[in-house]
Amino acid sequence: VDGQRADFVEFAAARGGPLFRSAWLLTGDWHLSQDLVQETLGRMYRSWRGTSRIDDPAAYAHTVLVRTYLSHRRRRSNQERPSSDALPDVPGPPTDDDTTNLRLTLLDGLAHLDRVDRAVLVLRYWEDHDVQTTAELLRITPGAVRARSFRALRRLRLILGEDLLTPPAPDPHLTPPGIGGQR
């Protein structure tokens, strides 16, 4: 029993970080991410008999995470709150030295998607799964993955703009004094 426990601790310590990062992209919320990963690890621990009984425990844990996310207390769907229509200072592309803006912009955009669409993008573009694997993980058809992916990307483009990584050219009328613009 002690050996199994140590085995699990080693596994959880190794996989906790990647699971949390996936949860962070799925929820955009520190508490919910923590809650989701602990729930996932708890389910793994409940039936833990060592890694030998599961072909790929890391992949299995990610499957548990995603399915827990999709079924995780539907009551929490209110976390996916829409941003205001005006999005007054959603910075769009970030400045070179501002990773905080990048995070807020991306998470803000992802927050506009429904849970399954968001999961599709995270599985496809963060976890690098192909359409077939994504479909199996989400228990939907490959066609549904393609359709949801297309729809979600289109919506993200509308929210974030076509260029996610390059800073926007400032409005010349708004260029601050002292850096080459008008006063």
Partner 1 sequence: MNFEDQLTVAMRSTAETVTPPVADLVAGGMQRGRDMRRRQMVRRRAMAGAGLLTAGAVSAAVLVAAGGRGAPVITPGVTAPATSARPAITFDPRAVVRPDQTVALAIDHMIVVGGALDRHDPAAAAGPWTVVVRSDNGSIGHHGAVVTFPVSAPTTGQPTPVGGVSGAASTGVVIWPIAGQYARIRGDLTAPELVAIAADTSVVSGRPTVHPPRGYAVVSSGTYQSPDIRESRYGSTGLGVAAALGDGLTYTGVTTGGGFEDQLYNTGVLTQTTVNGKPAVVSSVLGGNATLAWEPAPGIIAYVGYSGALPDDKAITALRALAARTQPLSLAQWQTANPQSNDQPNIFG
Closest distance between partner 1 and the C-beta of residue 122, in Å?
Answer: 7
Backbone angles phi, psi at 65, to 5 degrees: -60, -50
Segment 159 to 178, residues that bind partner 1, using CB under 8 A: 162-165, 168, 170-171, 173-178
Segment 19 to 78, residues that bind partner 1, using CB under 8 A: 19-22, 24-25, 29-32, 34-35, 37-46, 48, 73, 75-76, 78
Segment 75 to 94, residues that bind partner 1, using CB under 8 A: 75-76, 78-79, 81, 83-84, 86-92, 94
Q: Is 179 in the site for partner 1 (CB under 8 A)?
A: yes
Closest distance between partner 1 and the C-beta of residue 183, in Å?
Answer: 6
Q: How many CA atoms lie less than 13 Å away from 53 in the CB half-sphere?
A: 9
Instruction: Quote the tokens at residue 50.
Output: 């060592």
Supply the DSSP string of 67-113, one letter for each residue: HHHHHS-GGGGGGSPPPPSS-TT--SSPPTT-HHHHHHHHHHHHTTS
